[in-house]
């Protein structure tokens, strides 16, 4: 057994580190903390590990990154022992994987489940965080590390009359664990992002009728899912380390071909052939067909028009097809969806599309949904309406740093973070995949591993240099410069024009700012490594004075 598989340390009432969340980030963070000899406790609101895969149990939920790549790379035993059944695993299998990793590394012993963190206060006298939860006594730790996920604070629209609805309603991100049987029912689905696009074909298989309420049509390309090719699995496992290195230094953290030519420098025939090749292969590589699809509107239009034509060729009813065709924004500025039979589902007689741009929802009534046009009687409503992304789960906790300053106030005009890792005024608080880091624009596992490994090394270096009373904090100037850089990159790319959860546009009153870092995971990693090599440039590192 490799040295990466270690026994847990003795547990203490006061910890070196508290980690919030036991998804893929929190699990790996716990493991790395133990390997470095730190005592740690993970606090998790759910009943088990898995994070987003614990909550998102809706029909059709599956990962849209290939499972081989959506796996930890740090542990050779885990790579060797685990086998995926499909190219893109469904939610139950991903949750089993999370459980298997937790067993293999004995993680659950240091995780307290059913424990939602409500707040954390930094004590300047002893350099500790006091963490409060919905249940039980507060816990204390020198380091507080959030691993709360970028898409975990569910957004249920505040529709008038929802309380009067006599049927059942659900949000995709809070799906009942016992499952939901829609057999023979009339089901409304509100929302056509990744979750809705995965869910609608699966619910259509069960329900008597599905009515889809679409506000903005989305671009989606086929996943081309299927059983995992054993030869590919063997090749992947045999080359895991080299492939992980390739992913880590790539723009998106995906093992795809990144096209190096402009979409505008090739002939229309060549461009079409390349789009066609990627469309039929499936997966996240479509937008990487050419180097400038997210840099130039003209180049982007070639890809968008290709998908628009595909939608028209799949959906037989002309009016429905036109309603499904996204217009007025560039492909990729809302996250590109991957689907299995999404557009074709509208060829079924038992699936109806309602365009909310023509007839908005006016209210929920006891029997269903009323729009400006008509009332739809339904037995159940599914809200596939997304999340208060990236900052929602962080700001749901009442976090107070130096001088009692609330993170909510510090971020009132939008989040501010150095490298997406730390914020000035909040010492010893790290945010895994926080705002201003590549996170959601990348393969999340790759970004999670990079952050966890960087934080673990940072803590070990800090302790070596400053001892057990060490403090680290982002410098305000470095943080401001980083946020300027994040904004410049968004403006340099088309992302600066995004009207989506990427920029907070889906949540009323949320400050508009492009939240992730758009410079690519490889460049970002190099910058983080450079910062560390230069003695944690841009961070203040010190030790709390003795007797303080």
Helix (H, G, I), strand (E, B) or coil at 47: coil
Among 112, 140, 215, 261, which residue interacts with ligand N01 (rule: CB under 6 A)?
215
Is residue 495 a contact residue for ligand N01 (CB under 6 A)?
no
Angle at 430 between CA 425 and CA 436, to 5 degrees: 85
Q: Least distance in Å: CB of 213 to ligand N01?
A: 6
Give CA separation, 458 vs 6, 22, 49, 461, 533, in Å. Answer: 20, 21, 25, 5, 10
Among 39, 73, 146, 192, binds ligand N01 (CB under 6 A): 192
Q: Is 356 a residue that touches ligand N01 (CB under 6 A)?
A: yes
* Three-class secondary structure of residue 434 per DSSP: coil
Q: Which stretch, 194-202, 240-248, 303-311, 391-399, contacts ligand N01 (CB under 6 A)?
A: 194-202
Positions of E strands within 147-286? 168-171, 186-190, 209-214, 220-222
| Least distance (Å) between residue 477 CB and ligand N01 | 32
Q: Residue 297 half-sphere exposure, CB side, CA atoms within 13 Å? A: 6
Binding pattern for the stretch 40-59 against ligand N01, x by CB under 6 A and - elsewhere: --------------------
Of 170 and 426, CB closest to ligand N01: 170
Judge whether 98 and 53 are in contact, CB under 8 Å: yes
Please report, as residue ranges, which positions from 440 to 459 form the binding site for ligand N01 (by CB under 6 A).
440
- 3-state DSSP assignment of residue 479: helix
Contact of 473 with 428, CB cutoff 8 Å:
yes
Task: Work out which of 41, 57, 335, 525 binds ligand N01, going by CB under 6 A.
Answer: 335
Number of H helices, E strands in the chain: 15, 20
| Binding test (CB under 6 A) with ligand N01, winner from 89, 147, 151, 462 | 151
Q: Which lies closer to ligand N01 via its Cβ, residue 88 or residue 143?
A: 88
Q: Does 195 bind ligand N01 (CB under 6 A)?
A: yes
| Segment interacting with ligand N01 (CB under 6 A) among 71-79, 131-139, 191-199, 456-464 | 191-199
For ligand N01, the binding residues in 378-417 under the rule CB under 6 A are 384-387
Using CB under 6 A as the binding rule, whether residue 191 contacts ligand N01 is answered as: yes
Segment lying near ligand N01 (by CB under 6 A), choices 123-131, 138-146, 193-201, 401-409: 193-201
Quote the longest CA-to-CA distance of the chain. 76
Length of the chain, in residues: 548
Would you count residue 216 as binding ligand N01 (CB under 6 A)? yes
In the complex, minimum distance from the CB of residue 336 to ligand N01, in angstroms, rounded to a whole number = 9
Stretch binding ligand N01 (CB under 6 A), from 42-50, 192-200, 252-260, 534-542 = 192-200
Please enumerate in sequence order all residues whose Cβ is within 8 A of that of 121, keeping only pairs 6 or more positions apart, or say none: 129, 130, 132, 400, 404
Dist CA 65 CA 444 (whole Å): 9
Which residue minimizes CB distance to ligand N01?
193
Answer yes or no: are the C-beta atoms of 19 and 443 closer than 8 Å: no
Q: Please give the angle made by the CA atoms of 499, 497 and 315, to the nearest 5 degrees.
A: 60
Query: CA angle, corner 518, sides to 515 and 521, nearest 5?
Result: 115
Q: How far apart are CA 476 and CA 387, in angstroms?
A: 29
Contact between 64 and ligand N01 by CB under 6 A: the answer reads yes
Q: Which is nearer to ligand N01, 300 or 428 (CB)?
A: 300
Shorter beta-carbon distance to ligand N01: residue 15 or 501: 501
Q: List interacting residues with ligand N01 (CB under 6 A).
A: 63-64, 151, 157, 172, 190-196, 198, 213, 215-216, 335, 356, 384-387, 440, 501, 506
């Amino acid at each position: 057994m490799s040295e990466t598989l270690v026994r847990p340390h003795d547990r203490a009432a006061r910890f070196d580190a508290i980690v919030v969340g036991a998804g893929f980030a929190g699990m790996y963070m716990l493991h790395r903390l133990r390997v470095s000899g730190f005592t740690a406790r993970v606090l998790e609101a759910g009943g088990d590990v898995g994070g987003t895969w614990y909550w998102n149990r809706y029909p059709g939920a599956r990962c849209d990154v290939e499972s081989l790549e959506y796996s930890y790379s740090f542990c050779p035993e885990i790579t060797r022992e685990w086998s995926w059944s499909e190219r893109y695993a469904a939610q139950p299998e991903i949750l089993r994987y999370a459980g298997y990793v937790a067993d293999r590394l004995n993680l659950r012993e240091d995780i307290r489940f059913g424990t939602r963190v409500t707040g954390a206060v930094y004590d300047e006298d002893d350099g500790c965080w006091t963490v409060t939860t919905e249940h039980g006594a507060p816990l204390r730790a020198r380091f507080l590390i959030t691993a709360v996920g970028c898409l975990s604070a569910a957004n249920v629209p505040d529709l008038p009359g929802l309380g009067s609805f006599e049927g059942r309603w659900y949000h995709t991100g809070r799906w009942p664990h016992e499952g939901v049987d829609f057999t023979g029912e009339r089901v409304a689905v509100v929302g056509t992002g990744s979750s809705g696009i995965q869910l609608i074909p699966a619910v259509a298989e069960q329900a008597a009728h599905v009515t889809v309420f679409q506000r903005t049509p989305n671009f989606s390309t086929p996943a081309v899912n299927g059983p995992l090719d054993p030869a590919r699995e063997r090749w992947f496992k045999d080359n895991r380390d080299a492939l992980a290195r390739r992913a880590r230094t790539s723009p998106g953290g995906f093992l795809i071909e990144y096209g190096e030519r402009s979409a505008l420098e090739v002939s229309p025939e060549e461009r079409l052939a390349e789009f066609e090749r990627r469309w039929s292969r499936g997966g996240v590589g479509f937008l990487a067909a050419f180097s400038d699809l997210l840099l130039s509107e003209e180049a982007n239009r070639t890809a968008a028009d290709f998908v628009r034509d595909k939608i028209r060729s799949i959906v037989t009813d002309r009016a429905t097809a036109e309603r499904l065709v996204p217009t007025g924004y560039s492909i990729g500025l809302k996250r590109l969806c991957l689907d299995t039979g999404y557009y074709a589902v509208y060829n079924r007689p038992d699936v109806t599309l309602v365009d909310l741009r023509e007839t908005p929802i006016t209210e929920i009534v006891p029997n269903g949904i009323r729009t400006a046009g008509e009332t739809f009687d339904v037995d159940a409503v599914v809200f596939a309406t997304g999340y208060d992304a990236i900052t929602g789960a962080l700001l749901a906790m009442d976090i107070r740093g130096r001088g009692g300053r609330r993170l909510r106030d510090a971020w009132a005009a939008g989040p501010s973070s150095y490298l997406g890792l730390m914020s000035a005024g909040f010492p010893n608080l790290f945010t895994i995949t926080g705002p201003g880091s590549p996170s959601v624009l990348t393969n999340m596992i790759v970004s999670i591993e990079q952050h966890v490994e960087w934080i673990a090394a940072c803590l070990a270096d800090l302790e070596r240099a400053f001892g057990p009373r060490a403090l680290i904090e982002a410098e305000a100037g470095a943080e401001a410069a980083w946020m300027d850089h994040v904004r410049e990159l968004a403006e340099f790319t088309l992302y600066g024009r995004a009207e989506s959860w990427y920029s907070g546009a889906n949540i009323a009153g949320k400050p508009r700012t492009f939240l992730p870092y758009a410079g690519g995971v490889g460049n970002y990693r190099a910058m983080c490594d450079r910062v560390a090599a230069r003695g944690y440039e841009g961070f203040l590192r010190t030790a709390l004075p003795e007797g303080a």
